[in-house]
Amino acid sequence: MKNNTIIYISIFFILLSTGSCGEKKKTSKTNSSKENITDSGITFNDFETSIDGIDTGLYVLKNKNGVEATFSNYGQRLITLLTPDKNGKMEDIVLGYSTLDKYQEGNGGYFGSVIGRYGNRIAKGKFKIDGIEYELAQNNNGNHLHGGLKGFESVVWNVDSVSQNFIRFKRTSPDMEEGYPGNLKVSVDYTLTDDNELRIEYAATTDKKTHVNLTHHSFFNLKGEGNGSINNHILQINASSITAVDKGLIPTGELMSVAGTPFDFNTPKTIQSGLDKEHEQLNLGGGYDHNFVLDQSKKNNEGLLIAAKVHEPESGRIIEVFTSEPGIQFYGGNFMDGKTIGKNGGSYDYRGAICLETQHFPDSPNKNNFPSTLLEPGEVYSSICVYKFSVK
Rounded Cα distance, 235 and 257, in Å: 18
pLDDT in tens, 183-195: 999 999 999 999 9
Residue 125 Cα distances to 39, 57, 86, 88, 201, angstroms: 42, 33, 45, 47, 27
Q: What is the DSSP letter of 107?
A: T
In percent, the amount of the chain with pLDDT more than 70 equals 90
Give the burial string for 138-169 (b: 16+ CB within 10 Å, else e). Answer: bbbeebbbbbbeebbbbbbbebeebeebbbbb
Confidence of residue 9 (pLDDT cuts 50, 70, 90): very low
The pLDDT score that the predictor gives to residue 35 is 63
Q: Which one from 144, 217, 233, 311 is the annotated catalytic residue?
A: 217
The candidate with the shortest Cα–Cα distance to 220, out of 90, 371, 360, 331, is 331
The pLDDT score that the predictor gives to residue 321 is 98
The candidate with the shortest Cα–Cα distance to 354, out of 307, 304, 289, 293, is 289
Rounded Cα distance, 2 and 365, in Å: 13
The pLDDT score that the predictor gives to residue 105 is 86
In percent, the amount of the chain with pLDDT more than 90 equals 88
Residue range 1-392 forms a domain whose CATH class is: mainly beta
Rounded Cα distance, 386 and 363, in Å: 24
Amino acid at 218: S
pLDDT higher than 90, residue 226: yes
pLDDT higher than 50, residue 15: no
* Rounded-to-10 torsion of CA 96, 100, 106, 107: 60
pLDDT in tens, 124-146: 999 999 999 999 999 999 999 99
**Average pLDDT score, the chain:** 91
- Domain limits, the chain: 1-392
- Is residue 105 flagged as an active site residue? no
Rounded Cα distance, 129 and 106, in Å: 31
The pLDDT score that the predictor gives to residue 248 is 95
Is the distance from CB of 183 to CB of 83 less than 8 angstroms?
no
Is the distance from CB of 304 to CB of 321 less than 8 angstroms?
no
Is the distance from CB of 97 to CB of 342 less than 8 angstroms?
yes
The pLDDT score that the predictor gives to residue 251 is 98
Rounded Cα distance, 234 and 231, in Å: 8
Rounded Cα distance, 344 and 361, in Å: 35
pLDDT in tens, 308-332: 999 999 999 999 999 999 999 999 9
The candidate with the shortest Cα–Cα distance to 140, out of 114, 121, 155, is 121
Confidence of residue 344 (pLDDT cuts 50, 70, 90): confident
Amino acid at 344: N
In terms of C-beta density within 10 A (0-12 exposed, 13-18 middle, 19 or more buried), how is residue 307 classed?
buried
CA 88 to chain centre: 26
The pLDDT score that the predictor gives to residue 50 is 95
pLDDT higher than 70, residue 20: no
User: Alpha-carbon Rg of the chain, whole angstroms?
Assistant: 20
The pLDDT score that the predictor gives to residue 10 is 38
* Dihedrals phi, psi of 281, to nearest 5 degrees: -65, -35
The pLDDT score that the predictor gives to residue 239 is 98
Q: Read off the pLDDT of each residue in 286-296 and give the average, rounded to a whole number.
A: 98
Confidence of residue 107 (pLDDT cuts 50, 70, 90): low
Q: Which one from 48, 225, 357, 360 is the annotated catalytic residue?
A: 357
* Dihedrals phi, psi of 158, to nearest 5 degrees: -80, 135
In terms of C-beta density within 10 A (0-12 exposed, 13-18 middle, 19 or more buried), how is residue 241 classed?
middle
pLDDT in tens, 351-363: 999 999 999 999 9
Confidence of residue 289 (pLDDT cuts 50, 70, 90): very high
pLDDT in tens, 242-277: 999 999 999 999 999 999 999 999 999 999 999 999
- Is residue 357 flagged as an active site residue? yes
